């Protein structure tokens, strides 16, 4: 269990760095989603399924969706495609 937890923590750390280093917000929404999934795994391994469920719904589904919607709206406005 300790080995799994260490692996999951390391993967989460790497994923968090990838999120921070992703420049394009649209791509960042996707990497953020993957990061959220890995963080959820850490919570499951740490015997905290309640927190993992919150993390999955908010961090993996909701926040990336809001970011994507915002990016689309901003692009559409600045592009003046309508």
Partner 1 sequence: MSRRARLVLFGLGAVGLAVLWVVATGGLPPVGTDVHPYRDAAVAAAAAHATANVVASINFDQRAVDTLGEETILLASVVAVTTLLRPADDERVEPPDPPPAVLPATRVAGWALLPVTLLVGADVVLHGHLTPGGGFQGGVVLATALHLLYLAGSFPALQWVRPTRWAPLVEPAGSGLFVVTGLVGLAAGAGFAANILPTGVLGAPLSSGTVLVLNVVAGIGVGASIVTLLGQFLRQEVVIGPEAAS
d(CA 11, CA 82): 42
17 binds partner 1 (CB under 8 A): no
Cα distances from 24 to residues 4, 12, 21, in angstroms, run 31, 20, 9
- Binding window for partner 1 (CB under 8 A); candidates: 11-19, 24-32, 34-42, 64-72: 64-72
Comparing CB distances to partner 1, the nearer of 19 and 64 is: 64
Q: Which stretch binds partner 1 (CB under 8 A): 11-19, 21-29, 32-40, 68-76?
A: 68-76
CA distances, 60 to each of 8, 27, 63 (Å): 16, 14, 7
**Residue the block writes with tokens 């961090």:** 59
Q: Which of 6, 29, 58, 64 binds partner 1 (CB under 8 A)?
A: 58
Q: Please say whether the beta carbons of 1 and 45 come within 8 A.
A: yes
Q: How far is the CB of 54 from partner 1 (least distance, A)?
A: 5
Q: Which residues bind partner 1 (CB under 8 A)?
A: 48-50, 52-54, 57-58, 61-62, 65-66, 69-70, 72-73, 76-77, 80, 82
């Amino acid at each position: 269990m300790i080995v799994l937890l260490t692996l999951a923590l390391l993967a989460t750390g790497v994923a968090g760095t990838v999120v921070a280093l992703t420049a394009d917000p649209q791509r960042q929404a996707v990497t953020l989603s993957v990061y959220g999934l890995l963080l959820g795994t850490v919570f499951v391994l740490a015997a905290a399924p309640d927190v993992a469920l919150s993390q999955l719904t908010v961090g993996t589904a909701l926040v990336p969706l809001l970011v994507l919607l915002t990016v689309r709206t901003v692009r559409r406005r600045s592009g003046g495609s309508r």
